[in-house]
Structure 1
Amino acid sequence: MRIIRAKDYSDMSRKAANILSAQVIMQPDAVLGCATGGTPVGIYRQLIEWYQRGDLDFSEVTTVNLDEYRGISRESEQSYWHFMHSNFFDHVNIAPERIHLPEGSNLNAQEVCRAYTEMIRSVGGIDLQLLGIGTDGHIGFNEPNTVFEMDTHCVDLTESTVEANKRFFARKEDVPRQAYTMGIRDIMQARRVLMVASGADKAKIVRQAFFGPVTPAVPASILQIHPDFTLIVDQEAAAEI
């Protein structure tokens, strides 16, 4: 495990974007695992800036997103499909056929999860997976549990996750209660994993996840045993380590 300390959110975003851009430059046909939420937005903005300057080319890149809400269409402004296009995909030259997210509008969970697991294998696995971390230690939508869920699966979202995501919806009641997410095995099989954590509200879980026991009660803790894991934290998120 490698820990990189950043001064603030902007510095964290730039440091993470440096790692992602290096992956694309050194491996133009890389498979990038993408994440949603507020934390990665600064990373995507930096990558867009470098692309617009002519420093990056995403034409051969394949993207595989961590998750999508169940029961939500791609056309919805709250879907992760929409989030990724508005914050990243629409601003760079990623080929549409190389973009992959779980099909949230399909309510057949078994079908969606099986197809997504097979898709990850068909593209040769993930070269670099970007992650955030929830205040309860969830990665993707892998919530605290008694076991590590292995493959892509449908999950019931915890109240803390619904609370954290309600800012993206008009009302808390509109937040979906289920999601499709990559499993822990999907994430752990990525050749490299990069996590970003920002803000004082992440300090406690950063300490628990990476300086405590490996346990499914803190899903991110499994990353302690990943062979190529980098954590980038700003000063606030690093306050307890």
Structure 2
Amino acid sequence: MEVVILPTTAARAGLAAAAITDLLRRKPSAVLGLATGSSPLPVYDALVDAHQAGQVSFAAARAFTLDEYVGLPAGHPEAYRQVIDRELVGRVDFADGAVHGPNGDTDDVPAACGQYEQAIAAAGGVDLQLLGIGTDGHLAFNEPGSSLASRTRVKTLTAQTRQDNARFFDRVDDVPHHVITQGLGTISEARHLVLLASGAAKAAAVAAMVEGPVSASCPASVLQLHPHVTVLLDPEAAGLLTLRGYYEQVWDGKPDWQGI
């Protein structure tokens, strides 16, 4: 796991966006994993800027989103497919039908979960997956207690997660109680995982993820078992890391050609 601590949002977003643009230049048909929430939004803005400057095309790429609320009607502005369309897909040149999300507006949720797993496998798996982390250590919507080998399934949100997400709705009571989420086992099959976190509110979760035991109590700690993980933090989110000085030393001495 590579931990990179950078002081500005632009620097962190730029690094993540550069990893994606470099991937698409090497492999135009790459499969991307797209996250919602606040953390990836600056990355999407940086990708849009790169696309508008003629530096990258998404025309041959495909993408899968991490999760979706269950029960929101099609077209709801906070449905994650709508969010992804608004923040990235509709601003670049993805082909029609190239971006997929779980179907949370269905009468057969278990079937939708299985179909989503099959679709990711049929695409050859995810090359690069963007991630955030919840204040309780959840990854996607894998809340504490989730199996580290879990697959795409329906989950019940904790009161804390619903409160954290209430900022996107009129009130906390409007936040759905259930979601479809890629499982920790599903996420771990992506070839490169890039997680972004900022703010002191994330510091405890980040420390548990990076330096704590691998445990279902902190679902994001499963990333310790992955061979290629990049964690991009601001100084506040890195505030409780015991080995912070070492991570900074390693990054400062990294060859420019190596990337993340």
CA displacement, residues 177-235 of structure 1 (integer Å, 9 cap, x when unaligned): 00000011111111111111111111111111110100011000010010111111111
Runs of 4+ residues over 3 Å off in structure 1:
none
Asked if the contact 2:131/2:196 (under 8 Å) is kept, the reply is yes
Structure 2 distance, partners of 1:146, 1:205, is 15
Please state whether the residue corresponding to 1:190 is helix, strand or coil.
Answer: coil
Contact 1:8/1:235 (8 A) holds in 2: no
Report sequence identity in percent.
37
Distance 2:107 2:139 in 1: 22
Q: Deviations over 1:149-201 (max 9, x none)?
A: 51100000001110010011111111000000001111111111111111111
**Which deviates more, 154-163 or 65-74?**
65-74
CA contact (8 A) 2:71 2:104 kept: yes
TM-score, with length taken from structure 1: 0.97
Check the 8 A contact 1:143/1:157 in 2, yes or no: yes
Instruction: Give the letter aligned to residue 211 of structure 2.
Output: F
Q: Is the 8 A contact 2:165 2:175 kept in 1?
A: yes
Task: Give the alignment of 1:102-141 within 5 angstroms.
Answer: 102-141=102-141
In the aligned structure 1, how far is the partner of 2:20 from the partner of 2:159? 32
Q: Which residue of 1 aligns with 2:31?
A: 31
1:45 aligns with 2:45: yes
Q: What SS does structure 1 have at the residue aligned with 2:129?
A: strand
Alpha-carbon distance in structure 2 between the residues aligned to 1:128 and 1:220: 17
8 Å CA contact 1:74–1:81 kept in 2: the answer is: no
- Aligned counterpart, 1:144: 144
Structure 1: where are the runs of 5+ without partners?
none
Equivalent residue for 1:101?
101
Give the CA RMSD over aligned residues. 1.0
Match of 2:85 in 1: 85
Give the Cα–Cα distance (whole angstroms) in 2 for the partners of residues 107 and 188 of structure 1: 28
| Count of residue pairs the alignment pairs up | 241
Who is 2:188 aligned against? 188
Change over 3 Å in CA distance of 1:74–1:81 after alignment to 2: farther
After superposing the two structures, state which structure 1 stretch, 31-40 or 19-28, moved more. 19-28
- TM-score, normalised to structure 2, is 0.90
Write the distance in 1 (CA, Å) between the matches of 2:163 and 2:129: 25
Would you say the 8 A contact 2:146–2:219 is kept in 1?
no
Cα displacement (A) at 1:73:
2.7
> Which residues in structure 2 correspond to 1:49-88 (within 5 Å)?
49-88=49-88
Could you list the runs of 5+ residues in structure 2 that have no partner in the other structure? 242-260
Partners of 1:40 and 1:193 in 2: how far apart?
Answer: 13
The one-letter amino acid paired with 1:59 is A
Higher-Rg member (1/2): 2
Deviation at 1:146, TM superposition (A): 5.8
Whichever residue aligns with residue 236 of structure 1, its letter is E
Deviations 1:66-124 (A, max 9, x none): 00000113300010011001100000000121110001111311111011011011101
Q: Does 1:157 align with 2:157?
A: yes
- Aligned to 1:97, what secondary structure does the other structure show? coil
What is the match of residue 224 of structure 1? 224
Q: 1:170 maps to what in 2?
A: 170
The whole-number CA distance in structure 2 between the counterparts of 1:181 and 1:101 is 10
Whole-angstrom CA distance in 2 between matches of 1:203 and 1:15: 21
